Every structure is written in C-alpha cells, then in structure tokens.
Amino acid sequence: MSHDPLFDGDRVLLAGLAGLPGADAPAGVLSAAAVREADPDAAPPEIRTLAGEILFVSAAHRAGLRRFCAANGIPPRARPDVWGDLLEPFLDTESTHGGRVATLERLAAAGLDADETARIRERVGPLMAAYNAVRWDWSHLGLADLLDAAFGTSVPEELRIPQRERDAFRAWATAIANRADGERPTAP
C-alpha cells in the first residue's frame, strides 16, 4: 500500500491514488493544500490529508517527503502507532508479559480498552496471521500492512476483504489509526 511518489512543487503525484475513498486527489494528484500533516519518520512514511485519508510513501522517498513538507509548510507530526500495537501479537516473535502489558496500556491511552482490543484482533487475526506467515516480519506490522493484507494478493482470497466492503474496511481501519486523536470509529 506504499506509493512511489513524484514530488512536484506544491503537489504529489501518486500512482494508484485515483479512486481511493476519501482521498482528495483526482487522477493521482495530491495538492499540498490538501495535506494536513506528514510523518516522514513513520514506518512507512505517512501523509495525512484534510479529507482524513492516510497515505503511505515508500521509505525510499522519505527524504523527498521531508523536503516537500518543508517547502510547502506542511507540519511534521509523529502519532502513536495504534495499529502497530494492535497487530503486535501477529509478529513472528514472542513478547514478554511486561511488553504485552505496556502495549495494552498504550492502547488504553488511545481509547481502546482490553475488550475492544480483543474484538479488533479477533476480526483481523486470520488475515494478519496468513499475511505474516508469508512475510515473517518480527519487528513491526502496522496499518499499511493491514491494508496490504486486506486488499493485496499475499493472502488467500477467501481471507481478503471483498471488493464491495473495501471502502468501509479502510474507513474503519483509518478511524482506529486516528484513535489517539480522540476520534471514535464505527464498525462497518
């Protein structure tokens, strides 16, 4: 789900962006005026739009994103990685009891109690287990990985989100990513 952008003055050209739900970017063009903030240091780097979309940039373009933001007055903002914490159990590693407690505390600080965390993990569990059985990632899974698993081809088709449900799923997942800002998602 990461894009290889072309930064062109006050706009970003992102192949495959056209038609993305909520994106204010016809034909794959995102103007700097439509960008709320960015995090070049996130994994992968993020662009957050005024329309509420979270777009991911390939890490190879981290420096270009940083220059684009500086040139266009786009504020950098690091946010808590809610999906990184939610997807931690699906990493190809084992965490300690203290690590699991710390993760649950960060999720609680973002407004997700233990019951909601369990429901979310149950919902995405089969998808993420299949995804990471192929990837074997032991350090980080986040929203970009969830969307790649849900819409990509690396997991069996029966586990992927059906085409007719993708907009709702993406909106649900994005709303959860924004929980640290006090927003409350509704399940699709």
Question: How does pLDDT run across 122-174, given as a tens digit for each residue?
Answer: 999 999 999 988 877 667 899 999 999 999 888 999 999 999 999 999 999 99
φ, ψ of residue 12 in degrees (nearest 5): -120, 130
> pTM of whole model > 0.85?
no
Residue listed under structure tokens 């997991």: 155
> Would residue 161 be called left, alpha or beta, if left means φ above 0 and alpha means ψ between -120 and 50 degrees?
beta
End-to-end CA distance of the chain, in Å? 21
pLDDT in tens, 91-128: 877 778 888 899 999 999 999 999 999 999 999 999 99
Instruction: Give the C-alpha separation, 32 to 37, whole Å.
Output: 10
Q: Parse the chain into domains and list their residue ranges.
A: 2-72, 82-181
Gap between the Cα atoms of 161 and 56, Å rounded? 19
Strands 2-3 and 54-57, how do they pair?
Answer: parallel
